[in-house]
Amino acid sequence: MSRLQANILLLISAIIWGSTFVVQQVSMDLIGPMTFTAARFFLGLIIVVPLAIREWNRKKSLSRHLNQRPLSNKDLSLMVLIGIVLFVGTIVQQIGIIHTTVTNAGFLTAMYVPMVPLLGLIIFRKNPHWVIWIAVAFSLAGTTLISGVDSSLELGYGDALVLTSSVFWGLHVLLVGVIASKTSMPLTVAAIQFAVVTLISTLWAVSVETVSIDALLSAAWFIAYAGFFSVGIAFTLQVVGQSHTLPTDAALILSLETVFAAIAGAIFLQERIGSIEMIGCAMLLSAILMVEVLPKILRKRRRVT
């Protein structure tokens, strides 16, 4: 798979996640956040498990015939850790969305963009290309304009939770990039992380929420959309795409979910989007083009000189 194809997959994920912010907020009037999380990740797990089993068997066959390294216990442990990080990011964001707007949630979630290069620098001592930092600044400025925040912004309870979740989203993007490129088993990574989230959220839901068939049925369409599209398709495409591109590039492309969250909020919840917000969208696109194009131009100039 080429880098362009991988980035297109990540763009599709961003579109789906942006639209899912509306579903996540509206569904909270009908069902508890833990129950909703458990149900949608279980649905996503059902979708991806057959593909993951096929991938697993193929990996075992190649390992025997071509002497390739099979999955180690360390690899599996890292996949479980990714699932735990995904659970924390998901549930903290889900609870936060109850107490804020879709547009603000999209903006604050996008704060994971600077988290990715920062965490990469802290954890792996990997300093990204200097263009990345400029692109991150453009991305943050763009998301600020999209959200309409100003100097008088005061973070409410929901905003603080969504902002906290962005740390875990940044760590998730970083770890997915590491394990996906290392193992070349994106579907297995997806299945294991979905299983971990489903297990933890189910146990938690049974403990703290009233789980009923009526609640599940009343939110069935929302669960179906979030489970099939956001989990089954978007999170899986994220892992597949990150197998062929850099985590920092992936974070910038995935930050476009802010744009699509604002558009979805305007269409379905009558949240505002005007000329300032459109400038913000343009800045986000500029950040992505900067990362994709500028390093190549600079490399060509060095070769010429």
Query: pLDDT digits over 258-294, tens only?
Result: 778 777 777 777 666 667 767 777 777 677 667 666 7
For 299, other C-beta atoms within 10 Å of its C-beta total 10
CB atoms within 10 A of CB 213: 7
The two three-digit tokens of residue 171, written as one number: 């760590």
- CA distances to 10, 141, 259, 298 from 193, rounded to whole Å, are 18, 32, 26, 38
| Cα–Cα distance, 205 to 203 (Å, whole number) | 6
163: which residues sit within 8 A by CB, 6+ positions away? Answer: 96, 108, 111, 155
Q: What percent of the chain has pLDDT over 90?
A: 28
pLDDT in tens, 174-232: 898 888 778 888 899 999 999 999 999 999 999 988 888 898 999 999 999 999 999 99
Please give the Cα distance from 273 to 183 (Å, whole number). Answer: 42
**Quick check: 67 pLDDT over 70?**
no
- pLDDT for the residue numbered 198: 96
**What's the pLDDT at 63?**
64
CA quadruple 289, 295, 300, 301: dihedral, nearest 10: 100
DSSP state letters, 1-25: --HHHHHHHHHHHHHHHHHHHHHHH
Cβ-contact 248, 128 below 8 angstroms: yes
| Most confident among 52-61, 103-112, 223-232 (mean pLDDT) | 223-232
What b/e string do you get for 122-146 counting C-beta neighbours within 10 Å, with b at 16 or more? eeeeeebbebbeebbebbbbbbbbb
Residues 100 and 126: their CA atoms lie apart, in Å, by 35
pLDDT at 49 over 60: yes
pLDDT for position 166: 84
218 burial level (CB within 10 Å; 0-12, 13-18, 19+): middle
Predicted model pTM: 0.80
Percent residues over pLDDT 70 in the chain: 83
Give the pLDDT band of residue 155 (cuts 50, 70, 90).
Answer: low
Please give the average per-residue pLDDT across 238-247, as a whole number: 86
Tell me what pLDDT residue 66 has.
Answer: 58
Report yes or no: 168 and 105 within 8 Å, Cβ to Cβ. no
Q: Could you read off the pLDDT of 284-300 as tens digits, one per residue?
A: 767 766 766 676 666 66
Average pLDDT over residues 116-134: 76
Residue of 58 and 303 predicted with greater confidence: 58
